[in-house]
Amino acid sequence: MLEAWTLLVYPWRANWSRNNSMTTQRERRARKMEEPKGHDFGVKVRSIVLGSMDFTGNLSKAQINGVAYGYMHEPSLRTTVPVLTLLGSNPEPLHDAFEEFATWNKQSDGDAVELTLVFLRSGGYLVGISPEAERLLQRTMHFDTTYENITAMPTWVKPIESVGPETIKFRSYKNRLVSPFLLGAAWYNGASDSLRSDRLPKINPIGRPLLKFEASVFDEVDVQPGTIADAVMKVGGERTAGTAENINPSKCKPPRSSPSKVAGIRRVSLRRDFPVTLDRIERSQAMQDLKAQVLAKGVEEWQFEQALCNMVLSREITAGHLHFETIRAENFENETAKVLAARYEIADGQELDLPPCSAAQVLKQVTLDAQFLLREFGDKASSDTLQDVMRRMKKMNLLARKGRSQ
């Protein structure tokens, strides 16, 4: 089962006109492909990681009408721990939902399932279940640091009308520093109101409960906007048992980066992806002479280093071109991100892998990189001159970070 899909989000640059002939379109695409391009390592390609929605549908179909609290021996801990059990009258989809949870558990741990309880001022409480964000990223994106990830997590919510003594005990138990518990499922025969009668129906456990250590417990008055508890409140307020399935990835927009954040990401990215290249720049007298010529034009040292790293990267993925000319504009960011995700450098005693390049070529890359960053910050003005882009960069405080990228 594919647990999640990733949508790469970047400004789409398309040239289309109903009046253009196919020949004109091909010519435009060819010109676009041959244009030199810049890149700033402080700007990551954005990816939306969307967790599986199957469990929400299955939990809804399971007709869960109650939550049971009890205790069970946990062999791995050699002790008895509380168990919270979802009670449904339709066993097959309930089984399927917990089979999916078991898959998440194998790939990370039981806390891959986020359990949220929100106690309402009006009485009763909400039970929310969703993928846990950090573990979702670990399972789907692994240890990739190339992308700026946004998680979109479907959430299932069930309102419970009353708060019994066992619920209060469980809430108090979760106030402990370490409070393991089990999350399980069971099915029963009977009408939905049979759980409220004095004579309870037979309860049939489904599978092995998940061992968890984490659960989020809130009072309604303490819920903060933008949190998972806030999502549970919104979904729980819409219907009797809700699922937040209507996720529109196009509306999942990250906050605009600040200049200081971009500078910080750039320093980390260059040090991580080009450690040997940066060291060779420092050790090469030819590179130091070239740097002196470039910095004399008012360029910052980090711009010089980034430009050379971009030229090294361009040579690697374009068969020798220095300014990414052969990569189509609409594919550029995704292509470079994929390469960087798999790229590594080896200190083998060799010189910098660049042909003799002039200060003019480096300044050209600096200008392209600056134009890229200005567009990211909403500056649409068109200019090909280094002096103009440097002036605009300074005005927007994009030159604040000086010195080597470390």
Q: Tell me how far the alpha carbon of residue 74 is from its chain's centroid.
A: 34
pLDDT of residue 331: 82
DSSP 3-state of 211: strand
pLDDT (0 to 100) of residue 196? 60
pLDDT digits (tens, 9 = 90+) for 149-162: 677 778 999 999 99
Strands 181-188 and 156-160: unpaired
Q: Does pLDDT of 252 surpass 80?
A: no
- Coil, helix or strand for 152? strand
pLDDT of residue 333: 82
**Cα 322 from Cα 313, distance rounded (Å):** 8
Beta bridge partners of 119: 125, 219
pLDDT band at 329 (very low <50, low <70, confident <90, very high): confident
C-alpha–C-alpha distance, residues 171 and 227, integer Å: 19
- For tokens 């042909």, the residue is 355
Within 8 A by CB and 6+ apart from 324, the residues are: 36, 37, 39, 310, 314, 317, 318, 332, 336
Spatial separation of the C-alpha atoms in residues 202 and 188, rounded to whole Å: 6
The secondary structure element, H or E, covering residue 295 is: helix 285-295
pLDDT at 194: 57
| pLDDT of the residue at 134 | 85
Q: Lowest-pLDDT range, 6-10, 94-98, 141-145, 169-173? A: 6-10
Check pLDDT > 70 for residue 115: yes
Residue type, 278: L
* pLDDT at position 275: 94
The answer to whether the CB of 87 falls within 8 A of the CB of 65 is yes
For the chain, the domains span 35-42+257-395, 47-251
- The answer on pLDDT for 247 being more than 90 is no
- Check residue 108 and give its pLDDT: 87
- The order of strands in the sheet holding 203-212 is 64-74, 79-88, 181-188, 203-212
Whether the pLDDT of residue 20 is over 60: the answer is no
- pLDDT for 235 equals 86
Tokens 């970047």 found at:
10
* 370/122 Cα distance (integer angstroms): 56
Please say if the pLDDT value at position 214 is more than 70: yes
Average pLDDT of span 204-209: 92
pLDDT tens-place string over residues 373-390:
999 888 877 777 999 999
Residue 23 scores a pLDDT above 60: no
Residue holding tokens 């946004």? 150
Task: Give me 243's structure tokens.
Answer: 């699922």
pLDDT for residue 353 = 67
Q: Quote the pLDDT of residue 112.
A: 92
Distance of CA 282 to the CA centre of its chain: 34
Q: What percent of the chain has a predicted confidence (pLDDT) above 90?
A: 53
Please check whether residue 45 is in contact with residue 146, taking contact to mean a CB–CB distance below 8 angstroms. yes
Q: In this prediction, what percent of the chain has a pLDDT beyond 70?
A: 80
Residue 7 CA to residue 9 CA, distance in Å, equals 6
Helix axes 301-317, 275-283, angle to 10 degrees: 120
Residues 6 or more apart whose Cβ sits within 8 Å of residue 132: 111, 112, 113, 114, 214
Q: What is the mean pLDDT of residues 160-166?
A: 92
Judge whether residue 54 has pLDDT over 70.
yes
Please state which of the ranges 111-125, 189-203, 324-338 shows the lowest mean pLDDT. 189-203
Q: Averaged over 182-189, what is the pLDDT? A: 94
Q: What pLDDT shows up at residue 350?
A: 77
DSSP states of 2-53:
---EEEEE--------TTS-HHHHHHHHHHHHHS-----TTSPEEEEEE---
What pLDDT is recorded for position 131? 92
d(CA 396, CA 145): 27
- Mean pLDDT, rounded, of the chain: 82
Contacts of 123 (CB under 8 A, 6+ apart): 161, 162, 163
Please, are residues 115 and 132 in contact by the beta-carbon 8 Å criterion?
no
pLDDT at 337: 83
Q: Residue 64's beta-bridge partner residues?
A: 88
User: Confidence class of residue 201 from pLDDT cuts 50, 70 and 90?
Assistant: confident
Is 8 within 8 Å of 46 (Cβ atoms)? yes
Among 7-21, 266-280, 287-301, the minimum mean pLDDT is found in 7-21
pLDDT for 100 beyond 80:
yes
Task: Look at residue 239 and tell me whether its pLDDT is greater than 50.
Answer: no
Cα-flanking dihedrals φ and ψ of residue 162, to 5°? Answer: -130, 160
pLDDT confidence tier of residue 16, bands split at 50, 70 and 90: very low
Q: Please list the alpha-helical segments (H only) found in 108-175.
A: 133-140, 165-173
| Phi and psi torsions of 187, nearest 5° | -125, 160
Mean pLDDT to the nearest integer, 47-71: 88
Residue 256 token pair: 């605009």
Residues 365, 323: contact at Cβ < 8 Å?
yes
